[in-house]
């Protein structure tokens, strides 16, 4: 039998770029901390993240 503990995956934090544990014991995953999660949430709330789309016909009116 294999008695080794499963390896925890480490990913890059989308906000700060640091290491983040991608495991159930990290409540902020994929972020490394609550701060990074809140900064990202604030960017979404202030509409800093946008997807460019072509203008529609109703935009010309």
Task: State the DSSP string of the chain.
Answer: ---PPPPPEEEE-TTT--EEEESTT-TTTTSSSHHHHHHHHHHHHTT-S----PPPHHHH-
Range of the domain at 39: 9-48
* pLDDT at 60 exceeding the cut of 70: no
* pLDDT at 1 exceeding the cut of 60: no
37 lies in some domain: yes
- What's the mean pLDDT in 5-17? 89
pLDDT for position 7: 82
Task: For residue range 14-59, list pLDDT tens digits in order.
Answer: 999 999 999 999 999 999 999 999 999 999 999 898 888 888 777 5
CB contact at 8 A, 58 and 50: no
19 lies in some domain: yes
2 lies in some domain: no
**Residue 61 confidence class, pLDDT cut points 50, 70, 90:** low
């Amino acid at each position: 039998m294999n008695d080794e503990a499963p390896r925890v995956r480490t990913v890059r934090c989308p906000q700060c770029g640091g290491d983040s544990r991608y495991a159930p014991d990290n409540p902020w995953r994929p972020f490394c901390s609550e701060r990074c999660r809140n900064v990202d949430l604030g960017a979404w709330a202030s509409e800093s993240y946008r997807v460019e789309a072509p203008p529609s016909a109703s935009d010309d009116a």
